[in-house]
Chains A and B, each alone.
Chain A
Amino acid sequence: MARKKLLVILVGILWGLFGSPLILAQKKAPVELLMTLDTKEAGGVNQPLSLFLSEHKQQLIISDTGNSRLLFFDARGDKFKLLEEFNADGEMFHPISAVQDSHGKLYVTERGKNEVIIYDRGTNSKDVLAVEGIPIYLAMDINDNLYVLERGHKKIMVFNPRLQLISQVSVSDKAFTNFSDVAIDKKGRIYALETLAGKVYVFDREGNLINKFGKRGKERGDFQFPTSIALDPHGNIYVVDQHRHKVLVFDSQGTLQWEFGKLGWKKGTLYFPTHIFIDSSNHIFIIEKHINRIQIFAPLYRKAEGL
C-alpha cells in the first residue's frame, strides 16, 4: 500500500516536472479560429473539394463541387462576404479545383473531363487546355505558371502563362502511389503530398527532388491519412490529416513545429478535414467536405505582425 502511495507521488512529481509543460505546449498551438465561412446566402455548399484565394483580385473562390458551381467571396478584410456564384451558364459540372491568374482568367478542372477549362470573364470567352490523363487539383504561382496535378499518370504538369508545357514532376520510386495535393512557394518550389505513403515531396523549379519527409504511423508527427498541403508566408508546411482530424505544421525542412485540431462539430474543432489553403495574409482555410463547412483560422502571431 505504501509503495503504491509512493508510486503515485513519484508519478505526480514526474508529471509536474516534464508532462504538464509538454501538454500545455501542445494546447497552446498558436492558432485561433477567425470565423466559419457563411455560405447560407448562396444556399449552402455541397461537398466542396477545394478553394483558392486570388491575391490580385482579392477574391476567395470555392469549388462547390456538389452544386456544380464556383462561389466568389470578397477577401478584402476579414469579413468574406459573398460576391457571386458562377456556373458557366449551367455548363459547369462538379468542379474539383479552380485558380485565377493576375489577369482574372479562371482555370477550372471538372470531374470526368480530361481538360482544364479556361474562362475569361472579361471577354466572356472560354478556352480548353487538353490534358492527357485525369487532371485534378490546380495551383498557380505568383508568375501565373499553372500547375496541374494529373492523377492518371502520377505527375504534376507545369504550364507557363502561354499554356506551354514547361516541365513535368514525378517520382520514379516503384512504391510511389500518386500525388494527392500540390502547393507552390514564392520561389517556385513545388510541394506535393502522397497520401498512401504519408510523404511530402519538395521539388525545385526544374522538377528535381530536393527533400522528402513524413511517414504513416501512430507516433507524434506521423500521418494517418494526409489529404492536403499548404504553405504559409513564412515557408511553414501545413498538412491536413483527415483521419486524425488535425493539421500538422512543419518547418521548411520537415521538422514538426506544432499541430492543431481535434475531432468535433463545434466551431474550432475539425470533422474529417479534407482540404487546406493559406493566403498571403496567413488566413488558414480548412474545408470539412463531409459536413459542408469551411473554417478560417489564423496564427496568433499574425496580429503581432499587423496582418
Chain B
Amino acid sequence: MAHLLKGTAYFAMNSSRFKIQDSGFRKIVIFLILFVSVLGGKTYAQTKLKVGMPDLCYGCHEGLKKEFSKDHVHVPVKKGQCITCHNPHTSNHAALIKDEINILCLGCHKEVKEDFKNKSVHSAFKRGECTDCHNPHSSNYRYILTKSENFLCLDCHKAVKGHLERPYLIPPFREKRCLSCHHAHASNVRNQLVKSPSQLCQSCHGIRCQVNGISLSFTLKGSDCTNCHSGHSSNSKGIFNAYGHLAFLQRKCGECHNPILADREVTTKLAGKELCFGCHKEEKKLLSNINTHMINEENACTLCHNPHSSNRKGLISKADEELCLSCHQDTDRKQIFMEKKLKRIRCVPVKERKCLKCHRPPHYDHPLYLKPQESIGCDTCHKAQHTITHPLGEKAIDPRTGHPMNCSTCHIMHAAKDKFMLYYNRDRALCIQCHKEY
C-alpha cells in the first residue's frame, strides 16, 4: 500500500512529463484515466427532435395536457420538462421514471429531505411514497395534494375520523383543519405537532383548569394539556381523554397530591413509583421479575402510563410506535430495511408497529419481554400454519438452544432477510440449521 501511495504521489508531481517508474501501476493509472474519460464524455451524438418538448410528449399523451392544467402545477410540468423525471426510452421503474419515486422527488426537494432528521416523523412520510399524498403533475389542491387536506389525512387515520362523531370537539378538528396543529411530514414535537401541546392550545385560549375554585394556571403553565384533555374530541364536557385514573375521574386529587394552593406548584405525596405502588400493590411485585423494563425511579411507571388520563386502555400514554420506538430506533430502522427488502409484510402487529401486541414490558417475565407464545396469538391469524408442517412446543426441541420450538425459532420479526420473515431461505438454508444430515 505504501508503494502504491508513493507511486501516486510521484505521478501527481510528474504528470506533465508522464514519468512513472512502476510499469504495473502505470497500466492501472492509464486504464483509470481512459475509463473516466469514457464515462465522462458523451458517447452518443445528440439527435435533433422532430418537435420540441413538451409538445413531442403531448403528441401521443393527448389527455395529459388538459390534466396538467389544474390550479396547482408541479414546476417541471409547468416548464414542459418531462424528462426531468421521465426517461423517454427505457427505465427500471413504472411510468419510465428515472429512479425510485422518493429518491427522484428528494433529489430536488432537498429541504424536505431534512425533515427526516426531526424527532417525530410521520410514518407515511417515513415509509410511504411521496405520491401517496402528492400528485406529481398537477392538482386543484395546494401542495399538489391528491385530495383536499381535510380528507387526505382522515382517509388513513380512520379511527380519528370516527372521533368526529363525538359530541364535544375542538374547533380545528371539527373543521378538519389537521394542518393547523400537525406538520404533514415531521417536527420535533410528538405526533408531528407544529408546537408543543401547551403552546399550541394556549395560542387560542388560556388555562381554564380549576380544582375547588383554585386556578391551576401556575402549575400547568408549560405542561402538556393532552395529559388530561384530548387534542381532538371527547364524550365528556371539558374534552377529557376517554380513559381516566379512578382518582382523577372522581376529582380526588388529594389521593396523590399534597393540598393544592393558588400560585404554588402542585406536588405529589410520594416521589416516583412509590406513589403508584401505594395503591397498586400487585404491580410492585413486577419489580421482582427477571426482566424489568425500567429507565429510572422517577419514570418507573410514567414512562408508559399517564397518571391522569389517556385515550388508550391501561392509561398508556402514547401510541406504541412513539412509546417504544423513540428509544428503540435501531429496531425500527432494521424493520424499515426489512420492509424494503421483502416488499410485503403480512404480520399485522409488525407492519403497524403494534409493539404491545407481542411485548409487554414489564408485565411478562420472558426474554425480550415477549408475552407467552400462546398469548401473542400468531395462530389467531395464521390458523393453518404448522398444524400440518413442522411440529412446535415441548415435543420439538431446538437442538441449537435446547428450547422448545416456537414461531420465533424460524421467524425473525423485525430484521428478516428472507421471505415469510424467516431467518434464512426456507428451500434449504433454514432447515439445515438443525437437520444437518441433509
Contacts and interface: CB of A to CB of B under 8 A. Distances in A.
B296 A112 contact: no
Contacts of A66: 290
A134 B35 contact: no
Interface stretch (B66-74, B154-162, B261-269, B326-334): B326-334
A243 B290 contact: no
Given A111-B290, A152-B297, A3 B39 contact: yes
A13 to B, nearest CB: 7
Contacts of B330: 216, 218, 224-225, 243
A46 to B, nearest CB: 8
B290 A293 contact: no
Contacts of A289: 367
Interface stretch (B86-94, B178-186, B398-406): B398-406
Nearest to A17: B4
Nearest to A288: B401
Contacts of B403: 291-292
Contacts, number: 79
Nearest to A176: B296
A265 B430 CA distance: 12
Contacts of B219: none
A153 B288 contact: no
Contacts of B327: 196
A133 interface: yes
A41 to B, nearest CB: 14
Contacts of B331: 243
A93 interface: yes
Interface residues of B, number: 37
Interface in B327-361: 327-331, 333-334
Interface string A41-54: 00010010100000
Nearest to A3: B38
Contacts of A151: 294-297
B28 to A, nearest CB: 7
A119 to B, nearest CB: 19
A112 B291 contact: no
B288 A93 contact: yes
Interface string A264-276: 0110000110000
Given A134-B297, A292-B401, A218 B367 contact: no
B84 interface: no
A10 interface: yes
Given A6-B35, A216-B329, A49 B296 contact: no
Contacts of B292: 111
Contacts of A265: 398, 400-401, 433
B290 A49 contact: yes
A47 B294 contact: no
Contacts of B433: 265
Interface string B269-312: 00010000000000011011111101111000000000000000
B43 interface: yes
A252 interface: no
A57 B330 CA distance: 41
A177 B295 contact: yes
Nearest to B403: A291
A295 interface: no
A290 interface: yes
Interface string B385-403: 0000000000000101111
Contacts of B334: 243
A94 interface: yes
Nearest to A65: B290
A258 B52 CA distance: 58
A105 interface: no
Contact of B35 (A10, A133, A153, A266): A10
B209 interface: no
Nearest to B398: A265
Nearest to A132: B297
Given A13-B31, A151-B294, 13 more contacts: A47-B290, A47-B367, A94-B290, A112-B288, A134-B294, A152-B297, A177-B295, A218-B333, A224-B330, A225-B330, A292-B402, A292-B403, A293-B401
What are the nearest 3 A-B pairs in CB distance? A112-B288, A152-B297, A265-B400
30 contacts: A3-B38, A3-B39, A10-B32, A10-B35, A13-B28, A13-B31, A21-B1, A49-B290, A66-B290, A111-B287, A111-B290, A112-B284, A134-B287, A134-B294, A134-B297, A151-B296, A152-B272, A153-B297, A177-B296, A178-B296, A196-B295, A196-B327, A224-B330, A225-B328, A225-B330, A265-B400, A271-B401, A290-B367, A291-B403, A292-B401
